[in-house]
Amino acid sequence: MNTCAFYTLGCKVNQYETQSIRESFVKAGYQEVRFAEPADVYVINTCTVTAKTDKESRRLIREVHRRSPLAQLVVTGCYSELDGDEIRNIPGVQFIVKNRDKDKIVDIINSKKVPYGYQADETYLPLAISDFKDRTKAFLKIQDGCNNFCSYCKIPFVRGRSKSRDVQSAIKETERLISKGFKELILTGICLGAWGEDLSPRSNLTELLEQLIELNGDFRIRLSSIEPKYVDTRLVGLIKSSPKLCRHLHIPLQSGDDRILKMMNRPYAARTYIDIIETVRTEIPEMSITTDILIGFPGETEANFRNTFRLIEKVRPSRIHVFPYSKREGTAAADLEQGMPKDIVKRRMNRIKGLALRMSYKYRKNFLQKETKVLVEHERDRATGLLKGYDDKYIKILLKGPDDYRARIMSVKIKKIDKERTFGEVL
């Protein structure tokens, strides 16, 4: 029996797509092994959000070739879309497969006819899964591509225009995953809120959610990320009314300064973002808001940064993903004046990270001695040996208990919090 191994970099969409690739290999008779073990075929599903992920992709390719020089090595994902020539020059790469052809990787390997840049008929969103290996939560991809063209981002160039999965396909896959026992489904997409805009008749994410929450089963749905313009009163009202929808929205901000937002080609002003969060919290006071902040965008002054800092203080996110600007060739921002010193970027990132810890503590403090529902994960917390899991507000909670609690939703009372951790007790 031939063996295969997989490695995924980047977003939840990539993780979903790797699961679909995995299932196609198993269906074709392959046996999966760990990525660190010898295999006949390795598939590296790459990311190109930052220069750092490009570098990590190249490192992994070289590592695989060094330890398994006779293996067939397939490189796919966003890094392979625009940088195929760069990948082609790395020893060991035999197949470079476009995002749109990920579901054909087994056929490509078996045919051995077109080793580089395989091109198939135009297809989109063909992937489907029936399980999610080694996870308590399953990702459900319902959208791909992006029409926004933020000035710092390559994703529209490597994923194409926004495309939506049809309703019946999304419902059937949801039912399959529920039948497998998954208690949390995370709807994913490159620009998730754009779902439905390209369908005929036109639809929207809230209409899809209204159908998904009517399905039978003990499960909950979380949105992976949603752009500010898609957070409307109808969506918020549905979350408020349905216990199956997690009280958590990840709404990317990137900057709290209007000048920088305009240069980023983000379609909102700082005041608009604040108003959206205030509207959400008026309807659902306990709503968890998480966000992304990009530091060191070309031309970002100390005053621009202070505006971002103050906005974060106003909206009080429960968690922040902060990352440095990375120049991406081919984007509009790549032509802007560069050169912000790394030490300044690092100091600003540390200031945001410190603020994030304080905001998280204040948010979690609201739930001390209160009951919540926690989906316990398979793996224990490495530092403490305790069980770990997340509630619907995306609070990570550590618990004492047996392994029998894993992959179950448990009623928990939050007993203690510290600067970074939350401790609960199973009721």
What CATH number did the domain enclosing 317 receive? 3.30.750.200
| Strand, helix or coil for residue 374 | strand
Please check whether residues 161 and 224 belong to one and the same domain.
yes
Q: Which domain holds residue 63?
A: 3-111
Is there a domain that residue 298 lies in?
yes
Please check whether residues 134 and 240 belong to one and the same domain.
yes
Is there a domain that residue 253 lies in?
no
DSSP 8-state secondary structure symbol assigned to residue 267:
S
What CATH number did the domain enclosing 18 receive? 3.40.50.12160
Nearest to 48 by CA among 91, 18, 86: 86
Q: Model confidence over 248-286: pLDDT tens digits?
A: 999 999 999 999 999 999 999 999 999 999 999 999 999
Please check whether residues 134 and 103 belong to one and the same domain.
no
Alpha helices in 267-418 (DSSP H): 270-283, 302-315, 342-365
Please tell me the predicted confidence (pLDDT) of residue 126: 54
| Rounded Cα distance, 133 and 3, in Å | 16
Please check whether residues 21 and 94 belong to one and the same domain.
yes
Hey, what are 387's tokens? 């069980």
Q: What is the dihedral of CA 329, 333, 334, 335, to 10 degrees?
A: 130
Is there a domain that residue 381 lies in?
yes
Please tell me the predicted confidence (pLDDT) of residue 100: 85
| Strand, helix or coil for residue 92 | coil
Of 246, 281, 305, at which residue does a domain stop? 246
Q: Model confidence over 1-30: pLDDT tens digits?
A: 799 999 999 999 999 999 999 999 999 999
Please check whether residues 291 and 187 belong to one and the same domain.
no
Please check whether residues 170 and 199 belong to one and the same domain.
yes
Is there a domain that residue 255 lies in?
no
Please check whether residues 204 and 310 belong to one and the same domain.
no
Within the chain, which residues score under 70 in pLDDT?
112-127
Q: Report CA-CA distances (Å) from 255 to 111, 136, 150, 278.
A: 48, 33, 12, 18
Is there a domain that residue 252 lies in?
no
| Strand, helix or coil for residue 17 | helix
What CATH number did the domain enclosing 418 receive? 2.40.50
Please tell me the predicted confidence (pLDDT) of residue 115: 46
Please check whether residues 357 and 389 belong to one and the same domain.
no
User: What values do phi and psi take at 195, rounded to 5?
Assistant: -55, 135
Is there a domain that residue 261 lies in?
no
Beta strands 422-426 and 396-399: pairing type? parallel
Please tell me the predicted confidence (pLDDT) of residue 85: 82
In this prediction the pTM is: 0.91
Domain count of the fold of the chain:
4
Please check whether residues 141 and 99 belong to one and the same domain.
no
Please tell me the predicted confidence (pLDDT) of residue 128: 76
Please check whether residues 323 and 402 belong to one and the same domain.
no
Please tell me the predicted confidence (pLDDT) of residue 125: 53
Helices (runs of H) and strands (runs of E) counted in the chain: 13, 18
Is there a domain that residue 254 lies in?
no
Please check whether residues 240 and 291 belong to one and the same domain.
no
Please tell me the predicted confidence (pLDDT) of residue 20: 92
Of 45, 78, 111, at which residue does a domain stop? 111
Of 64, 84, 111, at which residue does a domain stop? 111
